């Protein structure tokens, strides 16, 4: 009877694959979830503070360009009680925006609401940022903005 021994190189490869899989799972980022109109309304209304909502789409270059700045501002201001959420309006569902969120390592929650968001929130341009205080939209900021401009607006918003 002949025993087949695994070759050391294959054992090492299998261990590396197993380790890489565990590493990815341990550092899983934001997963875009579908959100209903009622759940979105509740999310906005339940925030008795200040919130930044950014509307975006995977096909929108300026949206993608702005995400690193928003993520940086999120990391800078989340400790001051400022909540950030993203809303994808992609027709294709959550899977359209997910690779971008993963690649840019976005840390704030992102939801997929789809095209109905355009009508519900009177979106006339994207990216579109809403500054919300106690469930009231205080300011709509259409179009891509620099991080410096966004930070200036957020600081003023936090002083309200």
**SS3 per residue for 109-124:** CEEECCCHHHHHCCCC
- Phi and psi angles of residue 75, each rounded to the nearest 5 degrees, phi first: -65, -35
Residue 20 domain-assigned (yes or no): no
Q: Enter the pTM of the model.
A: 0.80
Residue 79 domain-assigned (yes or no): yes
Dihedral over Cα of 128, 147, 58, 102: its sign: negative
Give the total number of structural domains in the chain.
Answer: 1
CATH of the domain at 116: 3.40.30.10
Report which secondary-structure segment, H or E, holds 45: helix 37-45
The b/e string for 74-109 (b: 16+ C-beta within 10 A; e otherwise) is beebeeeebbbbbbbbbeeebebbbebbeeeebbbb
Residue 21 domain-assigned (yes or no): no
Measured CA to CA in angstroms, residue 10 lies from 3, 18, 107 at distances of: 16, 12, 36
* Token digits of residue 42: 């509740």
Residue 67 domain-assigned (yes or no): yes
Residue 4 domain-assigned (yes or no): no
pLDDT digits (tens, 9 = 90+) for 55-86: 999 999 999 999 999 999 999 999 988 999 99
Domain that holds residue 153: 30-159
pLDDT digits (tens, 9 = 90+) for 104-149: 999 999 999 999 999 999 999 999 999 999 888 999 999 999 999 9
């Amino acid at each position: 009877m002949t025993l087949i021994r695994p070759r050391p190189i294959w054992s090492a490869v299998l261990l590396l694959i197993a380790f890489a899989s565990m590493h990815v799972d341990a550092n899983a980022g934001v997963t875009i979830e579908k959100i209903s109109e009622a759940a979105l309304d509740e999310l906005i209304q339940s925030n008795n503070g200040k919130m930044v909502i950014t509307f975006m789409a995977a096909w929108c270059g300026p949206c993608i360009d702005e995400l690193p700045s928003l993520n940086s501002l999120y990391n800078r201001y989340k400790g001051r009680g400022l909540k950030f959420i993203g809303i994808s309006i992609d027709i294709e569902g959550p899977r359209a925006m997910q690779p971008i969120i993963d690649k840019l390592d976005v840390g704030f929650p992102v939801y997929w609401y789809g095209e109905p968001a355009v009508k519900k929130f009177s979106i006339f341009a994207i990216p579109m940022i809403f500054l919300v205080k106690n469930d009231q939209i205080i300011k709509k900021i259409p179009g891509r903005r620099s991080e410096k401009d966004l930070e200036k607006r957020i600081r003023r918003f936090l002083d309200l």
